[in-house]
Amino acid sequence: MKMRLGLLAVGLLALVFSCAPQKTPGPQVGKKPAVAHPELSPQEKLIACSDCHRTETPEIYREWYQSRHGIAMVKCFQCHGTFETFHQPTRETCRTCHAKAYDNCPKDKVCWECHTPHAFKRHQ
Amino acid sequence: MGMTRRQFIKRTAALTAASLVGVELPKIEKAAQAADVEEWHPGVCRFCGVGCRVYLGLKKGKPVAIKGIPESATNKGYLCMKGMLFYRIIHHPERLTKPLYRERKDQPFREISWEEALRIAARKFAETVVKYGPDATAYYGSGQALTEETYLFQKIMRGGLGTNNVEGNPRLCMASAVGGYLTSFGADEPIGSYADIEKAYCFFIIGSNMAECHPVIFRRVMNRKFAKPNEVKVINADPRVSPTSRIADLHLQFRPGTDLALLNAMAYVIIEEGLYDQEFIQKYCKFKIGKPPKDVTFEEYKEFLKQYTPERAAEICGGNITPEKIRTAARWFATSKATMSLWTMGINQRSRGVWANNLIHNLHLLTGQLCKPGADSFSLTGQPNACGGVREGGGLCHILPAHRPVKIDKLRHQVEDLWGIPRGTIPPKPGYHTIAMFRAVNQGKIKALWVNCTSPAQSLPNCDFYRKGLAREDLFLVVTDIFPTKTTELANLVLPTAFHFEKTGVYGCTERRSQLTVKVVDPPREAKPEVWIVREWALRMAEEFERLGDRRRAENLRICVKPFLGKEEGYELPKAIWEEYTQKLTKGRDNDLSGATYEVLKQRPDGVQWPAPTKEHALKGGTYKKFVRGIDPLAEEEGRKLGISGPYVFYGPAHKDHKLYLWLRPYKGAAEEPDAEYPFYLSTGRVIDHWHTSSMTGRIPELLRANPYAYVEINPKDAARLGIKPNDMVEIETRRGKIVLPAKVYEGPIQGMVFIYWHDMAEERMANRVTKDAFDPGSKEPEFKICACRIRKVSGPRPLKPYVVGHKI
Ligand code: SF4
C-alpha cells in the first residue's frame, strides 16, 4: 500500500506537471513554480498524473473528471505540462483551444478567476 | 525541500483553490506560445481522420507551437493532445535523414547517396518485373500519405509497371465501411457531414470509442448532448464500457460479435411497432438478399426478421442486453427528429464487417433517417487521408482513381486514355489485397515490395507470421518513412521522407472534405517528399527497362511522369499531380473535385467537400450533403438526366437502378470464438494519446508518459476468479502466440472479454503478435477486433520500460 501511495504521489506530480502549455519542454519554461514537485524516479514518471491525484487530491480529480474537460479527455498535461515542465497554466495555454473566449474575456484576469478551475463551469 | 509528497500535493491543491478567491497566484511563466511565435501557418492535423485545422507557429523558421483554428468548421479551435503536440516531430533528433542500404538483411545499414538509392530501387524493381513478371512487385501505402503521393505511386505501379498490386493500410480499417456504403447506397463515403451533429437528436454510437479515437468529433457530440440534455439521446452499443459511454443515456453491452443480431432486432422492433417510413422505403429502397443479389419483398424481410425478436436477440447478445433495452434503442432511433449513427473499427474490423455496416444502414433506410439535417449513417475514418488518398485516389488493389473498379473495362480504359498510355497496359484483374499480398510475400511470390508511411510488421494481425516473409532474403524491401519502425528493421533500403508542413499536399477527411497543407519548413538534411522520390525512381526505372530491353515499359513510365518533369518538389510538383488527378480523373465522377484547385483550396480555409464540379461551388465549400437537390449539384444534374423527380437523387455509380438497398443479413459469429481451450474474447483498440504504431507519438514525452506501454483490461469478476490483481503481469495466449502485459482491472470489458491497446512496440507486449488474420470475404478487412485467448497471471507487478524502435528513452 505504501508503495502504491508512493506511486500515486508520483503520478500526481506528473499529472500536475504534465499539463504544460504547448511549448517545447525543458529549460526555456522559465521561472520555477512556487512549489516544486517531489522528485520522481524514472518509473514513477511513467504513471499518469491522474492515477495519483485521484486519491491524493480527490476534490480536484473529481472536479476535473466530471467537467467537460474530463469527459472530453483533456488530460492534466495539456494544461500543466509534464513533470519537467510543470507550471500553472496561463491565459495563453487556454487560448490553444479557446481562442474566441480569449478574445472575449477581460484581458487583465486569468481565465480561472471567472471559470472555476478544473470544473471550468462557465462562470463562478 | 522538507515537504512530503502528500504535503506537496495538498499545497498545490490549496494554491489552485486560492486562485478562486482572488488570492495571489504563484508567478506564472511567460506566455507559452503566442508570444514566442513569429508566424502562424494554416494546415491540417497530421493524425486521425477528423481533419482538425491547425496553425503551425514558427519562430526563426522553427516550429514552436500549434493551435486550433477557432473559425474551423471541423474542430472550432479544439485539438486533442496529439494534434497539439505534433510539431515536436518536425525537428525531432531521431528523424531519418539519409538513405540507408544493406544488400542482405543480416548486414548493418550504411548511408548512401540519393542517386545510389534510387538506382538500386530502380534496378531491383525493373529486374524483378523482367524476371518474374510485374505481379512479383507490389506497393503498400497508407491512409496517412497525401493524395498526391498515393495517386502517383499507384500510377507508376499500374501505368508504368503494369500491376494492380497497389494496396494500403486503409484495407485494415476502412474497407468494410467502403463495402457497406457501396452495397447499401451504391456510392462510397458518407452522405452527410459533421455539421449534422449539431442538428441530430439521437446518436447511435456503435463499435466506436470516439472519446479516444475521434476526440474532437466526440467533443461536438458531447456539446450537443449537454446543450439539450433531455431532448438529445445518446445510445452507445459496445462490448466495452469506454470513455465514450460517459455521455450515453443507454449503454448496450453485448457479447463481442453479436451486434448483427442486435441490429436486426432493432429493425424487427421498428417494423413491429410501425415506426418505419413507408414512403421513403417505397420511393427509394429495394430489399436484397445473397450473392448474386436477389430482390425480395418487404414481407419476406419481415419474415426474415422473425428470427431476431428482441427476446431472441437478447439471448444471443448476452451481457446486459434486455429485450426492453433493444426496444428503447429502436424507438429512440426511429422516432427522434434526426438520428445520426457513428461507428469505427468495432464494426469494420470483423469477418462480417460489411454486413454489420449494411445492418446499420438498414435502420436508416427503414426509418428515412437520411438526407435530412441531422440524420445520417456516418462512418468515422481512422486516418487523415484514408478517404481522400486511398479510397478516392485509387490506392487499393481493386480500384483506380475516382472510384473506378479495375475490372470494369470501360472505366479502366478511361484511365489509360487519360494517362496517355496504351489500352491494355493496366491489367483487368485486381491485385493482391493486403492479407493476400503479405501471404504472397511469405510464399516468395513477391520479390520487390515498397512500403510507404506505414508499418505492417507491427500493424498486420498475426504479425509474427508475416514478419517471417518480410525478413526473407529474397524479398527486396524498400521503406519510406520519417522514423525507424518495426518495418524498417526488416528493410533493405530505408528512404527518409519529408513530414507534414515540410511538403505540400491534400488530406481528405471523413466528411469528404479535402484540405490543403502547404510546405512552410524544409525537411531535415536529406529527407525528401515522396512525390519527388517516386518521380525520380520512375525515371531511373525507365532507364533500367531500356537496358533490359523492355522498351514498352520504359516508354509507359516516361509517359506517366512526363507532366511532372522539371517541377520544383515542395509545391509545384504536388500541385501538378493534384491538377491531373482532379481535372482529369475526378471530372464527371461522383467524387468530382475539379472545382477544388490549389488556388481554391488556399482561398477556402476549411477546404472543399466533394462533389465540387465547379469552382463556384467549391468556393462555397462544396457539398454538405450528397444526393439532395439544392445542395448537391450532381443530384440536380443527374436527376435531370435520368428524369428523376423528388428531393433526392441516388446517383451512386454502383447501383444502376438508383435505389438504396436494404439487405437481409443473418447473424454470424466471429471466425474464432472462445472455447474450452481459449475461453476469453480478445479485442484490441487505441488510446487517445497514441497514434497507431506510436512511432511518432511515442517520441513525444507527454504522450509517451500518458500511456507508456500497453496493458490488458480485465473485468473485475474474471480477475477475481483468476486471482489477478491490478498491475499483476498477465500472459495472454492465443493460437498464434503469447504476450505478457500488466493488468488493469476495471468494469470496461464485458465479463469473458479482455482488451489490449495495440500501439506498444515492445516484443513482449505487441498486441498484433496474437490477433487473428481472418478477414471479411467481401471487404478483405481483417478481424482485429475478435479472437479467442486464455489468460493467466505470471507474476506480481514488475517495473516496465516503454519501447519505441530507435528512440532514446
Ligand atoms: S482529433 Fe484527430 S485530427 Fe483532431 S487534433 Fe486530435 S488527432 Fe488531430
Q: Is the CB of B215 under 6 A from ligand 1?
A: yes
For B460-482, what is each residue's pLDDT tens digit? Answer: 999 999 999 999 999 999 999 99
Taking the centre of ligand 1 as the mean of its atom positions, its distance from the CA of residue A38, in whole angstroms, is: 33
* Range in A89-98, B286-295, B358-367, B608-617 with the lowest mean pLDDT: A89-98
Q: What is the spatial distance between Cα B612 and Cα A90, in angstroms, rounded to a whole number?
A: 42
Q: Is the peptide bond before B611 cis (omega within 30 degrees of 0)?
A: yes
Candidate CATH numbers 3.30.1300.10, 3.40.228.10, 3.40.50.11440, 3.40.50.970; the one for domain B175-379: 3.40.228.10
Would you call B551 exposed, middle or buried from its count of C-beta atoms within 10 A (0-12, 13-18, 19+)? exposed
Which atom of ligand 1 is nearest the CA belonging to B50? 3
For B400-453, what is each residue's pLDDT tens digit? Answer: 999 999 999 999 999 999 999 999 999 999 999 999 999 999 999 999 999 999
Residue with the bigger pLDDT between B170 and A18: it is: B170
C-alpha cell at position B370: 437520411
With the most atoms of ligand 1 within 8 angstroms of its CB, the residue from B48, B89, B686 to mutate is: B48
For B725-779, what is each residue's pLDDT tens digit? Answer: 999 999 999 999 999 999 999 999 999 999 999 999 999 999 999 999 999 999 9
* pLDDT exceeds cutoff 80 at A121: no
Residues of B in contact with A79 (CB under 8 A): none
Taking the centre of ligand 1 as the mean of its atom positions, its distance from the CA of residue B42, in whole angstroms, is: 15
Predicted pLDDT of residue B10: 55
C-alpha cell at position A73: 479527455
Q: What is the spatial distance between Cα B92 and Cα B482, in angstroms, rounded to a whole number?
A: 10
Amino acid identity at B361: H
Predicted pLDDT of residue A6: 40
Q: What is the spatial distance between Cα B224 and Cα B217, in angstroms, rounded to a whole number?
A: 11
Predicted pLDDT of residue A38: 77
* Range in B84-88, B140-144, B262-266, B662-666 with the lowest mean pLDDT: B84-88
For B284-323, what is each residue's pLDDT tens digit? Answer: 999 999 999 999 999 999 999 999 999 999 999 998 999 9
- The response to whether B173 counts as a known ligand-binding position is yes
Above pLDDT 90, what percent of chain B? Answer: 93
Residues of A in contact with B68 (CB under 8 A): 96-97, 99
Subunit contact A73:B212, Cβ cutoff 8 A: yes
Residues of A in contact with B3 (CB under 8 A): 35, 38
Average pLDDT, whole number, for chain B?
94
Predicted pLDDT of residue A41: 80
CA distances from B371 to B384, B398, B671 (A): 25, 29, 35
Among A88, A93, A105, the residue to mutate for chain B (most B Cβ within 10 A): A88
For B74-120, what is each residue's pLDDT tens digit? Answer: 999 999 999 999 999 999 999 999 999 999 999 999 999 999 999 99
Eight-state DSSP code of residue B707: S
Question: What DSSP string runs through B533-549?
Answer: HHHHHHHHHHHHHHHTT
With the most atoms of ligand 1 within 8 angstroms of its CB, the residue from B66, B74, B80, B692 to mutate is: B80
Q: Whose CA is nearest to atom 4 of ligand 1?
A: B52
A68 — pLDDT class (breaks 50, 70, 90): very high
- By the 8 A CB rule, do B461 and B784 touch? yes
B664 — pLDDT class (breaks 50, 70, 90): very high
Among A53, A73, A75, A114, the residue to mutate for chain B (most B Cβ within 10 A): A73
Taking the centre of ligand 1 as the mean of its atom positions, its distance from the CA of residue B220, in whole angstroms, is: 13
Subunit contact B6:A56, Cβ cutoff 8 A: yes
Distance from CA of B520 to the nearest CA of A (A): 19
Q: Where are the domains of chain A?
A: 2-20+38-113
For B672-719, what is each residue's pLDDT tens digit? Answer: 999 999 999 999 999 999 999 999 999 998 899 889 999 999 999 999
Which atom of ligand 1 is nearest the CA belonging to B44? 3
Taking the centre of ligand 1 as the mean of its atom positions, its distance from the CA of residue B225, in whole angstroms, is: 21
B24 touches chain A (CB under 8 A): no
Q: What is the CATH number of domain B5-90?
A: 2.20.25.90
Q: Where are the domains of chain B?
A: 5-90, 100-170+385-496+530-568, 175-379, 680-793
Q: Is the CB of B82 under 6 A from ligand 1?
A: yes
Q: Is the CB of B83 under 6 A from ligand 1?
A: yes
Above pLDDT 70, what percent of chain B? Answer: 96
Nearest to B142 by CA among B379, B381, B439: B381
Which atom of ligand 1 is nearest the CA belonging to B46? 8
Q: Is the CB of B45 under 6 A from ligand 1?
A: yes
Subunit contact A22:B26, Cβ cutoff 8 A: no
CA distances from B402 to A104, B191, B583, B607 (A): 44, 16, 11, 18
Predicted pLDDT of residue B25: 25
Q: Is the CB of B47 under 6 A from ligand 1?
A: yes
Predicted pLDDT of residue A102: 86
Subunit contact B78:A97, Cβ cutoff 8 A: yes
Q: What is the spatial distance between Cα B96 and Cα B488, in angstroms, rounded to a whole number?
A: 11
CA distances from B205 to B250, B252, B391, B515, B805 (A): 10, 10, 23, 26, 35
Subunit contact B26:A88, Cβ cutoff 8 A: yes
Which atom of ligand 1 is nearest the CA belonging to B217? 1
Q: What is the spatial distance between Cα B398 and Cα B780, in angstroms, rounded to a whole number?
A: 11
Q: Crossing angle of helices B147-155/B530-547, nearest 10°?
A: 10
**Of B16, B223, B701, which is closest to A60 when you measure between CB atoms?**
B16
- By the 8 A CB rule, do B765 and B736 touch? no
Which atom of ligand 1 is nearest the CA belonging to B79? 5
Average pLDDT over residues B353-382: 97
- By the 8 A CB rule, do A89 and A96 touch? no
C-alpha cell at position B547: 537496358
- The response to whether B787 counts as a known ligand-binding position is no
Predicted pLDDT of residue A36: 67
How many contacts does A have with B, using Cβ atoms within 8 A?
175
Q: What is the spatial distance between Cα B170 and Cα B142, in angstroms, rounded to a whole number?
A: 7
B219 touches chain A (CB under 8 A): yes
Q: Which helix (H) or strand (E) holds B269?
A: helix B259-272
Find the closest chain A residue to B71 by CA distance.
A100
Q: Is the peptide bond before B292 cis (omega within 30 degrees of 0)?
A: yes
Among A16, A32, A92, A107, the residue to mutate for chain B (most B Cβ within 10 A): A92
* pLDDT exceeds cutoff 70 at B18: no
Predicted pLDDT of residue A24: 33
- The response to whether B169 counts as a known ligand-binding position is yes
Q: What is the spatial distance between Cα B606 and Cα A118, in angstroms, rounded to a whole number?
A: 31
Would you call A82 exposed, middle or buried from its count of C-beta atoms within 10 A (0-12, 13-18, 19+)? buried
B708 touches chain A (CB under 8 A): yes
Distance from CA of B202 to the nearest CA of A (A): 19
Average pLDDT over residues B608-636: 97
B5 — pLDDT class (breaks 50, 70, 90): low
Question: What DSSP string runs through B222-251?
Answer: HHHHHHSTTT-EEEEE-SB--GGGGG-SEE
Eight-state DSSP code of residue B775: B
Among A77, A109, A124, the residue to mutate for chain B (most B Cβ within 10 A): A77
* pLDDT exceeds cutoff 70 at B172: yes
> Any idea which architecture B100-170+385-496+530-568 has in CATH?
3-Layer(aba) Sandwich (3.40)
* pLDDT exceeds cutoff 50 at A25: no
Above pLDDT 90, what percent of chain A? Answer: 15
Candidate CATH numbers 2.30.30.100, 3.40.1260.20, 2.40.30.110, 2.40.40.20; the one for domain B680-793: 2.40.40.20
Helix, coil or strand: residue B705: helix
> Phi first, then psi: what are they for A3, rounded to 5°?
-60, -40
A95 — pLDDT class (breaks 50, 70, 90): confident
Find the closest chain A residue to B216 by CA distance.
A72
Predicted pLDDT of residue A5: 36
Nearest to B775 by CA among B439, B448, B491: B439
- The response to whether B687 counts as a known ligand-binding position is yes
Taking the centre of ligand 1 as the mean of its atom positions, its distance from the CA of residue B51, in whole angstroms, is: 6
Predicted pLDDT of residue B31: 34
Predicted pLDDT of residue A18: 33
Q: Is the CB of B435 under 6 A from ligand 1?
A: no
Predicted pLDDT of residue B19: 30
For B199-233, what is each residue's pLDDT tens digit? Answer: 999 999 999 999 999 999 999 999 999 999 999 99
